Amino acid sequence: MEGNLHLGDYVIYRPAAFGMDNPILTQIDGLTVTESPREKYGSDFKEVSWDLIKENRVVFDLHNKYWAYSEQVCIEESKLANVLMKETPLKDLPMYLGRGCDMVIESRLKESIA
């Protein structure tokens, strides 16, 4: 899989309720790589591969003062959100998305085309 995710990048994740809550967009403050999937403790890194995230071996410390397992992250939506944030940053981007991971991507695509 291509590329890496870095400190300061954005993720769209689903908190609590086993990752079923409404998605939230926030920045990454910390990345911890674990030995096995769904462990909480490991080694801190400045960047991680998307492959490690897919393996559920990354714990995210988030800018909104929460943390999340990799399984809570919407991977494809987070990749696209990072591309769009770098290309067309919005000062008033809502940090809470009420309907679904696809909603933030859809709105960003509309804005980047306009």
59 DSSP β-pair partners? 32, 69
Total-model pTM:
0.75
User: Which among 13, 104, 4, 106 is positioned nearest to 63, based on CA atoms?
Assistant: 13
pLDDT tens, position by position, 87-98: 655 544 444 444
Percent of the residues in the chain that have a pLDDT greater than 90, as a whole number: 46
- Phi, psi for 66 (deg, rounded to 5): -110, 175
Q: Is the pLDDT of residue 49 over 70?
A: yes
Which of the 8 DSSP states describes residue 22? Answer: P
| Banded pLDDT at 14 (limits 50, 70, 90) | confident
Confidence band, pLDDT 50/70/90 cuts, at residue 1: very low
Tokens of 18: 């086993």
Residue, of 9 and 17, whose pLDDT is higher: 9
Domain span holding position 58? 4-113
Q: Pick the closest to residue 69 from 56, 80, 82 (CA basis).
A: 56
Q: Three-class SS of residue 30?
A: strand
* Averaged pLDDT, 71-92: 76
Number of domains in the chain: 1
Phi, psi of 95 (to 5 degrees): -85, -15
Tell me 73's DSSP state: B
Give yes or no for residue 16 having a pLDDT over 70: yes
Residue 66 half-sphere exposure, CB side, CA atoms within 13 Å?
15
Question: Is the predicted pLDDT of residue 100 greater than 60, yes or no?
Answer: no
Query: What is the pLDDT, as a whole number, of residue 95?
Result: 45
CA 57 – CA 92 distance, rounded (Å):
32
